[in-house]
Structure 1
Amino acid sequence: MSSEVLIKTLQSVEEMALVKELEELVWKWDAIPVHQTVTAIRNGGLIVGAFHDEKLVGFSYSFPGFLNGKVYLCSHALGIHPDYRVKGIGYQLKERQKSEARKLGYDMLTWTYDPLESRNAYLNLTKLRSVCNTYIVNSYGEGKDELNNGLPTDRFKVEWWINSDHVEKPSSFKVDKSNAFQVPYQEGEGGLPRLGNLDLPFSAEQIVVPVPAFFQQMKKEDMGLAIDWRMKTRSIFRQLFNAGYTAVSLIRHEDAPVHHYLLVKRSELQLDEKAN
């Protein structure tokens, strides 16, 4: 890029119109109305934008949430212009979102993503240090957009405890082969990975779960196999979350058909709230 990307909070009606325009470009659907985003930021919400040469190329949109007596920030959408992806802009937006959320008095943010999209998993869990033990089945109904078309929109709902030791003083979770159970997979036709059926152990200190390295490519080549991954990983993650496990990182492998989620017992994490 010819110049640096500028990250800033967005406040004006004109900036909300830019967000709406970019959202329509990114997802090809009806965007959030300007009157709603304006109302959100005036009532505890937060929108952060990324600009390159005075052009909006990325945004993160969030609004207040409340559940079981807990107030948090719900990060609903993060969109990057197609010409600016894989340049680290998403990470910059989330880091600015974190600092601004602290100023507003929040200590936890939450959002959802497709657990089979390994690039998003790496950003959310490994880089940002959010965690997940909530699986939502078909969160938005069957997807109609390019990324979700033809599949149930299952989602991980992550928690980002921005004042916790887990985020502030991260220690790398590594697979302990002597205490980990690794869910097996096989390579099928064309090198595409395939999951079998298995019984999960619930006594292992760590569980390692594979997901396709290139899920969108798999959908194009074999939609039936993609659906199989959706249904089998749905069962695996729901069982593990119900047994007290939490997803803490996505381990990437070069030249492999899968990457791996690492899950540990939630009691092993340092997620205690800290005073702002």
Structure 2
Amino acid sequence: MTKTQEIVIRSLHRIEELEDVRKLESTIWGETDSTPSHQTITAVKNGGLVLGAYMEEQLVGFQYSFPGFNGQSAYLCSHMLGIDVQFRNKGIGEKLKLAQREEAIKLGYSVITWTYDPLESVNGYLNIAKLGGVCSTYIANCYGEMDDLLNSGIPTDRFLVEWHIGKQETTDYRGPGIALDYVMENSLIQWDTDKKGLPVPSLTLPLPEQECGTAFVAIPKDFRTIRDTNIQAATEWRMKTSEIFTNLFQQGWQVTDFIKNSKTEIPVHFYVLSLK
């Protein structure tokens, strides 16, 4: 059991606990596709993991993983992480991931993988900058067309993250202190802003030469607002980032860092890519 401030995180094993997880999942994403508790308890009994985040005995977040195998080695496939909308932006997601790392090591895993929408900047900052995950695989329309509360309207493209937990000794931000002006000038996606101050992708720069060593790709700070208010701009962001990342990964680049830009007048953050 891990306790940090008012949040208690524990590994779940009882069917009653896992049914609470199912109910929270349905609240977040919708009832139709919630994962049955008989499936999560079977995963838990066979090398999987379900973690619950509690505040005063109320379940406010969860994480669900199951074993994966690529034909050569086993890994933990981190399938779902959800936080009650009333408890977001309190660091609960990071606490769940750190507890997941601790429990996965106990179970004998050295790698955890998961997918996430690369345009969700909060997840990008957590997964890449803070946890130290890397990505060199882009999955176009990973889950097909989805009508849930978070994915409707555009293709469900995803990054496949690899988190090498045996090597990760710290969650400190790994940013090398690159000047923001340099990052902006060299971002492979440039942008304009609309009347609401939201970024709209404009031109794209040529892919960098191999000797450059570092590449940058801008994404919106607040993609959900763009998706909810300007679906055309959201689709343009999806299509341009899909093309850029797919081409970079094919040429041997991988995402290794994330620059969180704190200037309110600049409406984008940046992925950092390095050659493998």
TM-score calculated relative to the size of structure 2: 0.90
Measured in 2, the distance between the counterparts of 1:17 and 1:230 equals 35
Q: Tell me the residue number matched to 1:192.
A: 198
Measured in 2, the distance between the counterparts of 1:189 and 1:58 equals 35
Aligned with 1:161 (options 156, 161, 164): 164
Superposed counterparts of 1:172-211, under 5 Å: 172-174=174-176, 176=178, 181-190=186-195, 191-193=197-199, 194-203=201-210, 204-211=212-219
Assess if the C-alpha contact under 8 Å between 1:209 and 1:260 holds in 2.
Answer: yes
Q: Tell me the residue number matched to 1:212.
A: 220
Measured in 1, the distance between the counterparts of 2:255 and 2:189 equals 17
Q: Tell me the residue number matched to 1:125.
A: 128
Structure 1 stretches of 4+ moved >6 Å: 177-180
Q: Tell me the residue number matched to 1:259.
A: 269
Assess if the C-alpha contact under 8 Å between 1:176 and 1:206 holds in 2.
Answer: no
- Unpaired runs of 5+ in structure 2? none
Measured in 1, the distance between the counterparts of 2:71 and 2:255 equals 22
TM superposition shift of 1:68: 3.1
Q: 1:184 to 1:153 in 2, by over 3 A?
A: closer
Measured in 1, the distance between the counterparts of 2:173 and 2:236 equals 34
After the TM superposition, which of the residue ranges 169-178 and 246-255 deviates more from structure 2? 169-178
Q: Tell me the residue number matched to 2:71.
A: 68
Aligned residue pairs total: 262
TM superposition shift of 1:124: 0.5
Q: Tell me the residue number matched to 1:102.
A: 105
TM superposition shift of 1:175: 5.8
Q: Secondary structure at the match of 2:204?
A: coil
- Unpaired runs of 5+ in structure 1? 267-276
Q: 1:250 to 1:62 in 2, by over 3 A?
A: same
Identity across the alignment (%): 45
Measured in 1, the distance between the counterparts of 2:241 and 2:69 equals 29
Q: Quick check: 1:235 aligned with 2:243?
A: yes
Measured in 1, the distance between the counterparts of 2:228 and 2:45 equals 42
Q: Tell me the residue number matched to 1:244.
A: 252
Assess if the C-alpha contact under 8 Å between 1:143 and 1:153 holds in 2.
Answer: yes
After the TM superposition, which of the residue ranges 85-94 and 245-254 deviates more from structure 2? 245-254
Q: Secondary structure at the match of 1:187?
A: strand
Assess if the C-alpha contact under 8 Å between 1:250 and 1:262 holds in 2.
Answer: yes
TM superposition shift of 1:181: 4.2
After the TM superposition, which of the residue ranges 188-197 and 254-263 deviates more from structure 2? 188-197
Q: Secondary structure at the match of 1:168?
A: coil
Superposed counterparts of 1:45-64, under 5 Å: 45-64=48-67
Give CA deviations for 1:104-139 in whole Å, capped at 9, x if unaligned.
Answer: 000000000000000010010111111111100000
Assess if the C-alpha contact under 8 Å between 2:44 and 2:66 holds in 1.
Answer: yes
What one-letter code is carried by the residue in structure 1 that aligns with 2:198? L
Aligned with 2:119 (options 116, 120, 125): 116
Q: 1:104 to 1:197 in 2, by over 3 A?
A: same
TM superposition shift of 1:211: 0.2
Q: Secondary structure at the match of 1:148?
A: coil
